[in-house]
């Protein structure tokens, strides 16, 4: 009897030891999977670390100073100013120095009247000097010219046009950098959520195995737990891979060197405070940079019409010539004697007939004016369409954010209750999977909605013509 009892005790001890070993193996295996995922995340994150992290405002400031498109646009302003200087230089005196050397192999012949016999045949006589060298200094001054007058009147508008183009480039850059920054943030938040989800699922694996060993559930529960864990790991891996090209896109937009790395910093609470926008603001077309650009183009086209009309006016200029002439029959003694002379005058040039070219240019310029007027009308329609779409998107995303914020709290509460009920053997594991999936999806959806609101706010500000470059 004692022998039988000893055998039973040994069997119980052996079963308990096997259970303990199996349980330890399951838990260790699950935790190793989780740690393996986190190690991979750490490796990915290390590629984005730098000496100093950049927040959104710092990314925008960096982009405005280093982005190649902005720098090229800055140079366009300088080029426009230089072009004006080049055109307006025609108002200044123009000085030229010329020199002509002439050697006659045979002097020109002229016929003159014979003074001894006026009625007789004409006499042949060579004229000129065999060698001449004449340095000539010519100075001209434009008094009036339609070309120079047009250059002077349009100079300011041309610089303004380049500056507006520069502003447009900056506005688009700020909007794109902001959206790209939010995309990276969403993926990083997604990674954080999936890490937490993986930890929860790893604990669920252990709980499911305990339930199975205790005879409360069959072994399909902890297998389903492993399936959920693997799915979460796959999603985590995908998110890690997605963040790499997103960082690369953000680097490109801000003009960050490809061989260097940086990390980003953000304050979620501050972002939540930044989502507010006064939707009662009235749309003003004149605030849009495109509207200002087309107004400048219209002003330039008006100048163009006036310029083509001024082509009927004469061109007036003054000149002064100074010549220092050397003459001598012998080449070797050419520079032995100089005969300087100078003269000045004015030139008036009036084109009388140009084959109807001037009238054609005037008509063409007026037709181009009509095109710009139609473009302005089309632009207003386009701006209003963009504004209404951006406003609707912002309101929709904001409403969605408020709904999803409540879902996160409820999903976590449901998950805690369901997990406790499962441990007590009240409900099947399928309920745990559903509750855990709801927690993960509600958190991801919430952050996706948050960054969608912020992105749609950027589109709305841009559509209304608000100054995005103030950052």
Answer yes or no: is pLDDT of 438 > 60: yes
Give CA angle at 322 (317, 325), nearest 5°.
Answer: 145
pLDDT for 32: 45
14: Cα within 13 Å, side-chain hemisphere: 6
pLDDT for 27: 43
Mean local confidence (pLDDT), 244-272: 90
pLDDT for 29: 44
Least confident of 4-8, 251-255, 291-295, 385-389: 4-8
pLDDT for 262: 86
Mean local confidence (pLDDT), 28-39: 43
202-223 pLDDT, tens digit per residue, is: 887 777 777 667 666 667 776 8
Dmax over CA atoms of the chain, in Å, equals 178
Question: Which residues lie across from 138 on neighbouring strands?
Answer: 96, 321
What's CA 99's distance to the chain center, in Å? Answer: 54
**Are 205 and 30 a contacting pair, CB within 8 Å?**
yes
pLDDT for 326: 93
DSSP string, 415-459: HHHHHHHHHTTSS-HHHHHHHHHHHHHHHHHHHHHHHHHHHHHHH
Mean local confidence (pLDDT), 68-78: 96
- Residue where the block lists tokens 């052996």: 14
Answer yes or no: is pLDDT of 153 > 70: yes
Least confident of 56-65, 75-84, 195-204, 281-290: 195-204
Rg over CA atoms, the chain: 43
Question: Which residues lie across from 131 on neighbouring strands?
Answer: 103, 328
DSSP string, 253-287: HHT--TTS---B---HHHHHHHT---TTPPP-GGG
Answer yes or no: is pLDDT of 172 > 50: yes
Q: How confident is the model at residue 167 (pLDDT cuts 50, 70, 90)?
A: very high
**Distance from C-alpha of 219 to C-alpha of 209, rounded to nearest angstrom:** 7
Specify burial of residue 288 (Cβ count, 10 A radius: 0-12, 13-18, 19+): buried
Q: CATH classification of 94-144+315-349 is 2.60.120, yes or no?
A: no
Answer yes or no: is pLDDT of 103 > 50: yes
pLDDT for 104: 92
Domain boundaries, the chain: 24-92+145-314+353-470, 94-144+315-349
Q: How confident is the model at residue 102 (pLDDT cuts 50, 70, 90)?
A: very high
SS3 per residue for 306-328: HHHHHCCCCEEEEEEEEEEEEEE
* Rounded (to 5) percent helix, strand, coil in the chain: 70, 15, 20
- Which phi and psi (to 5°) does residue 215 adopt? 80, 10
Long-range contacts made by residues 188-192, C-beta under 8 angstroms, separation at least 24?
A: 188/243, 188/264, 189/444, 189/447, 190/239, 190/444, 190/447, 191/41, 191/236, 191/239, 191/240, 191/243
40-55 pLDDT, tens digit per residue, is: 433 334 334 444 789 9
Answer yes or no: is pLDDT of 299 > 70: yes
For residue 300, give both structure tokens. 């330039």
Distances (CA, A) of 160 to 76, 187, 251: 11, 41, 30
Answer yes or no: is pLDDT of 337 > 70: yes
Q: What is the dihedral of CA 222, 223, 229, 232, to 10 degrees?
A: -130
CATH architecture of 24-92+145-314+353-470: Up-down Bundle (1.20)
Average pLDDT value over all residues in the chain: 85
């Amino acid at each position: 009897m004692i022998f039988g009892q000893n055998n039973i005790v040994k069997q119980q001890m052996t079963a308990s030891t096997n259970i303990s070993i199996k349980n330890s193996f399951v838990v260790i295996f699950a935790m190793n999977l989780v740690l393996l995922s986190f190690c991979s995340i750490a490796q990915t994150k290390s590629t984005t670390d730098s000496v100093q992290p950049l927040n959104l405002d710092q990314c925008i400031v960096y982009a405005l100073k280093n982005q190649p498109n902005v720098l090229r646009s800055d140079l366009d302003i300088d080029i426009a100013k230089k072009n004006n200087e080049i055109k307006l230089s025609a108002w200044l005196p123009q000085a030229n120095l010329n020199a002509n050397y002439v050697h006659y192999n045979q002097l020109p012949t002229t016929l003159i009247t014979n003074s001894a016999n006026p009625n007789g045949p004409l006499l042949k006589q060579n004229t000129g000097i065999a060698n001449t060298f004449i340095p000539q200094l010519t100075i001209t001054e434009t008094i009036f010219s339609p070309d120079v007058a047009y250059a002077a009147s349009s100079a300011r508008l041309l610089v303004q046009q380049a500056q507006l183009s520069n502003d447009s480039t900056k506005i688009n850059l700020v909007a794109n950098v902001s959206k790209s920054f939010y995309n990276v943030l969403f993926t990083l938040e997604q990674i954080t959520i999936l890490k937490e989800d993986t930890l929860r699922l790893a604990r669920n694996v252990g709980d499911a195995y305990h339930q199975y060993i205790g005879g409360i559930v069959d072994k399909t529960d902890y297998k389903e737990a492993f399936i959920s864990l693997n799915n979460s790991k796959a999603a985590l891996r995908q998110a890690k891979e997605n963040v790499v090209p997103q960082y690369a896109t953000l680097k490109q937009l801000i003009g960050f060197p490809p061989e260097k790395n940086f990390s980003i910093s953000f304050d979620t609470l501050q972002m939540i405070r930044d989502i507010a926008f006064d939707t009662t603001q009235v749309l003003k077309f004149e605030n849009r940079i495109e509207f200002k650009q087309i107004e400048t183009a219209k002003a330039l086209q008006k100048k163009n019409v006036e310029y083509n009309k001024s082509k009927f006016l004469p061109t007036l200029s003054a000149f002064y010539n100074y010549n220092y002439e050397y003459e001598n029959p012998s080449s070797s003694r050419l520079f032995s004697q100089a005969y300087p002379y100078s003269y000045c005058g004015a030139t008036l040039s009036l084109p009388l007939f140009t084959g109807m070219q001037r009238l054609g240019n005037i008509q063409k310029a007026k037709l181009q004016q009509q095109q710009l007027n139609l473009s302005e009308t089309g632009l207003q329609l386009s701006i209003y369409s963009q504004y209404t779409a951006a406003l609707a998107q912002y309101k929709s995303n904001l409403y969605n954010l408020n709904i999803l914020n409540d879902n996160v709290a409820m999903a976590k509460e449901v998950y805690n209750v369901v997990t406790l009920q499962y441990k007590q053997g009240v409900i099947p594991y399928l309920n745990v999977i559903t509750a855990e999936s709801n927690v993960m999806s509600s958190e991801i959806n919430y952050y996706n909605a948050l960054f969608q609101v912020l992105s749609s706010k950027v589109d709305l500000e841009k559509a209304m013509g608000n100054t995005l470059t103030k950052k």
